[in-house]
Amino acid sequence: MKVYLESFGCSASQASAEVMRAVIKKLGHELLDPHTADQAEVYICNSCTVKYTTEQKILHKIRSMGEKSMEVIVSGCMPEVQLEDILYANPEAHILGVNAVLRLGDILSSIEQKKTQGLSGGERLEIHTVEPLGFLNVPRERSNSNIHICQISQGCNFACSYCIVKHARGKLCSFPPDEIVEDIRSAVADGCREIWLTSQDDSQYGMDTGFKLPELLRKISEIPGDFKVRVGMMNPFSVLPILDDLVDAFDSDKIFKLLHLPIQSASHSVLQKMNRLHKMDAVDMIITKFRSRFDDLSLFTDIIVGFCSETEEDFKETVEWIKEYRPEKVNISRYSPRPHTKAFSFRNLDSRLSVQRSHELHRVCERIKLESKQEMISWNGRTFVSKYTEMGDVLTRTDSYRPVVISSSNLRPGQYVNVKIVAAKPGYFLGKLIS
């Protein structure tokens, strides 16, 4: 059969899509690209429900693909929390629960059998599993052959008032460290040189088992081979209990000095309404400890603009925090009320205010990013060779994960080279090799 798989959302969702692509190919089906998607017999939507706009796009897709007589399979987070919406958009859609990635073959085989027998319509399939299956040590069809996305846990033990993902993925379930190490060891043997650790909150890892993230990072750092590890998002309130050990674990040469610390707002009143269990002095402590150990640390953060009852003063506190701490990257989202969350019942701000504040924060962040990039010109130091680009250039990364593109044909991924940054582009730096 001809199958088109479209994936939405986070890197954990992307990892699941890679596993599903491998299942599709193993069964002998043809994977289509976006240019030939209209020829598909089966459309698989690996869904995300974090934002209302994404949800609406997905519902439109599964409705329109069904109207084109395609068999539709919906996986990911939406089936766990918005099944009724999915079936209203397409009553014949097959459902694959977020923990049941490896069971995709069961649905595809059923569809194929029906087609072979010349049947149209029929009973839709719905598969859920309680325990997460197929996240580690399974075949993958990677989006990037050099990058291995390793999901270290499923779910979350906290309850931010705006977050629907907790309802979709359930309570924290940390995967066994030995299985994680073996998964990464195999990926390195396959030639992967970047390892992305992902989950709903990396710093929660092991809160349910006692084997915490710093211990896991030390075990990963002991794996032989030329590779670097990018640690994913970590919430301030789950970093605090492991802060000193975590900073020590980041000291490994195999860990990128990248801290992705979502604050969502710098206003204590907004944080309280969000049920975010941290205060901004704790955020300051975390960043200060990381920056004092790692001079060239990259800081990423996430901001929700226009949350219920956010005042102009609340928003200004966030803007001033951004100006003071100058993160290299800020993921800005306008607040979107989600069903099943506590905040769904809160009174929302006028959407025009949210748009206005979002634009203002974007302008501030872009100015800071431009200034920071200019400050990096003439920097020279060691970079890690990541991969060759489609244009034949080489993408390297500094120890703090900043991308530097150089012209060369004699380098291999996994090498370290000395580079001087000579120019800045919107998404990367240009560099040249130095001896």
Q: Which domain holds residue 90?
A: 2-127
Local confidence band at 433 (pLDDT 50, 70, 90 cut-offs): very high
Q: Which of 73, 97, 127 is the last residue of a domain?
A: 127
pLDDT in tens, 382-412: 999 988 888 889 999 999 999 999 997 788 8
Q: Which of 428, 328, 332, 321 is nearest to 372 (CA)?
A: 328
126: nearest Cα among 168, 154, 87, 169: 87
In angstroms, rounded to a whole number, what is the distance separating the alpha carbons of residues 210 and 365?
38
Q: For 326-337, what is the mean pLDDT?
A: 96
Domain shared by 264 and 328, yes or no = yes
The Cα 312–Cα 318 span in angstroms is 10
Is the dihedral angle over the CA atoms 141, 143, 147, 148 positive or is it negative? negative
pLDDT band (50, 70, 90) for residue 115: confident
Residue at 305 is within a domain: yes
Name the domain boundary from 73, 96, 127: 127
Compute the distance between CA of residue 301 and CA of residue 298 in angstroms, rounded to an integer: 10
Q: What is the pLDDT of residues 301-318, one digit of tens each?
A: 999 999 998 999 999 999
> Which residues, other chains included, contact 74 with Cβ-Cβ below 8 Å and sequence gap of 6+?
44, 45, 47, 58, 62, 86, 93, 94, 95, 96
Can you say how many angstroms the Cα of residue 175 is from the centroid of all Cα atoms in its chain?
Answer: 18
**What rounded mean pLDDT belongs to the chain?**
95
Q: What is the pLDDT of residue 315?
A: 98
Judge whether 333 and 51 are in contact, CB under 8 Å: yes
Distance, first Cα to last Cα, the chain: 53
Domain boundary (94, 127, 160) is at 127
Question: Do 401 and 387 belong to one domain?
Answer: yes
**Cα distance between residue 282 and residue 288, in whole Å:** 10
Instruction: Mark whether 318 and 407 lie in a shared domain.
Output: no
Count other C-beta atoms under 10 Å from residue 118's C-beta.
6
Q: What is the model's pLDDT at position 389?
A: 84
Please, what's the largest Cα pairwise distance for the chain? 67
CA dist 169 and 276 (Å) reads: 19
What is the number of structural domains in the chain?
3
**363 and 397 share a domain?**
no
**Whole-angstrom distance, CA of residue 32 vs CA of residue 386:** 27
**Residues 119, 157: one domain?**
no
pLDDT tens-digit profile of 250-291? 999 999 999 999 999 999 999 999 999 999 999 999 999 999
DSSP character for 166? H
Phi, psi of 104 (to 5 degrees): -55, -40
Q: Which of 303, 301, 300, 333 is nearest to 317 (CA)?
A: 303
136 in a structural domain: no
Question: How many angstroms separate the CA atoms of 404 and 379, rounded?
Answer: 11
Contact present, 318 and 265 (Cβ < 8 Å): yes
pLDDT digits (tens, 9 = 90+) for 205-263: 999 999 999 999 999 999 999 999 999 999 999 999 999 999 999 999 999 999 999 99
- Residue 167 makes CB contacts below 8 A (sequence gap 6+) with 80, 81, 340, 341
**H or E element that contains 216:** helix 213-221
pLDDT value at 121 more than 80: no
Residue 219 in any domain: the answer is: yes
One domain for residues 386 and 310? no
pLDDT at 120: 62
Which CATH number is 401's domain given? 2.40.50.140
Q: Are residues 289 and 391 in the same domain?
A: no
Distance CA 200, CA 171 (A): 11
**Residue 296 domain-assigned (yes or no):** yes
pLDDT of residue 119: 65
What are the structure tokens assigned to 283, written together? 């955020």
Pair (293, 413) in one structural domain? no
In a domain, 137, yes or no: no
Cα–Cα dist 181/219, whole Å: 7
Task: Examine the domain organization and report whether 155 and 293 are in the same domain.
Answer: yes
At 122 the pLDDT is: 63
Q: Are the C-beta atoms of residues 216 and 206 closer than 8 Å to each other?
A: yes
Q: What is the pLDDT of residue 144?
A: 87
Neighbouring-strand partners of residue 299: 259
Going by C-alpha positions, the residue among 126, 76, 125 that lies closest to residue 99 is: 76
Q: Does residue 139 fall inside a structural domain?
A: no
Determine the 3-state secondary structure of 129 from DSSP: coil
User: Do 179 and 228 belong to one domain?
Assistant: yes
Does 157 lie in the same domain as 120?
no
Q: Are residues 367 and 386 in the same domain?
A: no
Strand partners, 301: 330
DSSP conformation letters of 255-269 = B--EEE---B-S-HH
Q: Return d(Cα 359, Cα 391) in angstroms, integer.
A: 33
User: Is position 134 within any domain?
Assistant: no
Q: Looking at the predicted structure, is the pLDDT value of residue 81 above 90? A: yes
325: helix, coil or strand? Answer: helix
| Residue 157 domain flag | yes
Look up tokens 């000193």; give the residue. Answer: 244
Give kind and range of the element (H or E) at residue 358.
helix 351-376
> What's the CATH code of the domain at 95?
3.40.50.12160
For residue 183, what is the domain's CATH number?
Answer: 3.80.30.20
Distance between CA 228 and CA 175 in Å, rounded? 21
